[in-house]
Amino acid sequence: MKVHLLYPHQGPDPQRPLPPNHEDLIRDLELEVLLDAMSQGDQFLREVALHHLLWGLEDREVILYRQEILKDCLRLSPVVEEIYHTTLEFMERKSRWWYLSSTRHSNPSLVLSSSLHVLEIALDSLRALRSIGDHHSHAFQSRGFRRFFSMIQEELDDQYLAEVEHHINALKFPKGTLLSAQLGKGNQGSNYQLSKPHSPGENWLKRILTHRSPVYSFTVHPRDDHGLRVLADLRDTGLARVAAAVSRAARHVEGFFKALREEMAFYLGCINLHGELKPWGLPVAFPFPERQEKHCFSARGLYDISLALTVKSKVVGNDIEAHGKDLIIITGPNRGGKTTFLRSVGQAQLMMECGMFVPADSFTANLSSGVFTHFKREEDKGMKGGKLDKELERMSTVVDHLRPHALFLLNESFASTNDREGSEIAGQIIGALTEKGIKVFYVTHLFEFARSFFHRVREKVLFLRAERLPDGRRTFKLKEGKPLETSFGADLYRQIFQGEEELPEHSKKP
């Protein structure tokens, strides 16, 4: 029995740790806000959402498979919630009995009896699932749900369930356990075998035909704990094989409910998020994922979902066409929406890659081999010596994990040194990254760098600039445009220190 609601051919992978750059991604892309909306305070939902957001899929077929299922979920959310609650109930009841999730170091008698308990509980939950399927399966259209419901109907027929019940009762050995054995090395008992006692009739016949064995008995002192434990251990030795068989069955059923719970938790998170966006009229779209190798990027109305969820209103979206571009260099005035745009790119990519809808009117992009960020950090500015050193160290950590077709978002990297040095380093790094097929979005003030790329390799590079109206106001929209040498820090200075004596920007810095 397999759930297969996240992947057509495999189960979830809950053991996998978050990617090594998860802290940077959460911080740089402001994922906390998004996760809050998806989890609604439920820690498990949050973990599942985070896991899938950060471990994007590289197979577009699987993404489309999830999109179908998610569309079903958004239409039929009450049924989806009912399935989820069935799994919660099973886990809750089971946790009162089943203390042993691994059998490797526990004794067979205990494994046998707790496995029998789990199977008893599972019978109820399986019957509940079947009844949901009997009532609602016709309404679901996705391949994933259709397969799921028909599997339940086929595998959980009445005969199967009755058989399970029979075996549960047969395995309690009321009359003692008979083992046969031989003398092994060092005269220790060996070849212990759970054996079937002769029936009384057989014994009677033997008594007449052969000389019957003498029987020696021994009663262990009730306070001889060690002795009693040895007896129990001997019994366990005999029960090992049957306990293994029963526990395999119990773990299979348990694994099924665990997988179902985790897989449904992902969709429940999406349902929650959808519910949060709706009241504010924030649009979402199911994106069109392209293969990794086919570098493309096309968005209409792409917005920063965390910003929108925070201000609870519509925010400025961007329309960008960057078909076949490996490098998008973004320049322009501070506070012109550059960082917000960078975030929205990262968010949409992560959401698309786990099968979710994205914050845009429409969105097409190639899949990535991983999303990475290198954002300017406060600590890069603060340190007196070796700030470039630190920054390079962080960069190096990212590079450790980059593979071809990664999406790499850089925000003012190498601003910690002068333009010439920064540009030289950035030039080498970005040049090599794009050559290795990594797609780079780079918000930068490094003029030398931007200019050298503008003159060298134009057909693979798109230049965007934060828009600034002739009167100095910003629209927070990005437009295609070549880099301008002057930055707009002075604007900001004037805006904040309006009316103060005008000073050159540099002399104002501490």
- Kindly identify the residues of this chain, within the stretch 316-375, that bind other proteins according to CB under 8 A: none
CB 461, CB 430: distance < 8 Å: no
Q: Between residue 120 and residue 179, which ones bind other proteins under the rule CB under 8 A?
A: 167, 171, 176-179
**C-beta of residue 228 within 8 angstroms of C-beta of residue 61:** no
Residue closer to other proteins, measured from CB, 56 or 422: 422
Between CA 37 and CA 48, with CA 43 as vertex, the angle to 5 degrees is 80
Of 109 and 272, which has the nearer Cβ to other proteins? 109
Q: How far is the CB of 449 from other proteins (least distance, A)?
A: 13
Size of the site for other proteins (CB under 8 A): 94
The string over 178-191, giving b where at least 16 C-beta atoms fall within 10 Å of a residue's C-beta and e elsewhere, is: eeeeeeeeeeeeee
Instruction: Work out whether 410 is an interface residue with other proteins (CB under 8 A).
Output: no
Buried b / exposed e over 429-441, threshold 16 CB at 10 Å, is bbbebbeebbbbb
- Contact between 241 and other proteins by CB under 8 A: the answer reads yes
236 touches other proteins by CB under 8 A: yes
CB of 343 to other proteins, least distance (A): 25
Between CA 434 and CA 432 the distance in angstroms is 6
226 binds other proteins (CB under 8 A): yes
Answer for which of 106, 137, 334, 362 binds other proteins (CB under 8 A) is 106
Which one among 108, 269, 333, 336 touches other proteins, defined by CB under 8 A? 108
Task: Say whether residue 101 binds other proteins (CB under 8 A).
Answer: no
Does 208 contact other proteins by CB under 8 A? no
Task: Give the whole-angstrom CA distance, residue 327 versus residue 429.
Answer: 12
Give one DSSP letter per residue of 275-312, joined into a string: HHHGGGT---B--EEEPTTS--EEEEEE--HHHHHHHT
Is residue 223 close enough to count as binding other proteins by CB under 8 A? no
What is the torsion angle, in degrees rounded to the nearest 10, for the CA atoms of residue 416, residue 421, residue 425 and residue 427?
110
Binding residue for other proteins (CB under 8 A) from 54, 126, 129, 246? Answer: 246
The distance of closest approach from Cβ of residue 222 to other proteins in the complex, given in angstroms and rounded to an integer, is 7
The answer to the question of residue 217 lying near other proteins (CB under 8 A) is yes
- Choosing from 101, 187, 498, 507, the residue that interacts with other proteins (CB under 8 A) is 187
In angstroms, the CA 16 to CA 509 distance is: 46
Segment 425 to 444, residues that bind other proteins, using CB under 8 A = 425, 428-429, 431-433, 435-436, 438
Among 255, 283, 301, 489, binds other proteins (CB under 8 A): 255
Please state the closest distance from residue 279 (CB atom) to other proteins, in A: 42
Q: Rule CB under 8 A: is residue 245 a binding residue for other proteins?
A: yes
Rounded CA-CA distance 304/310 in Å is 10
Q: 257 near 87, Cβ under 8 Å?
A: yes
- Whichever of 392 and 409 has its CB closer to other proteins, that residue is 392
Taking CB under 8 A as the rule, does residue 484 contact other proteins? no
Residue 251 binding other proteins, by CB under 8 A? yes
Containing H/E element for 408? strand 407-411
**From the list 14, 184, 275, 382, which residue makes contact with other proteins (rule: CB under 8 A)?**
184
68 — phi, psi (to 5°)? -60, -50
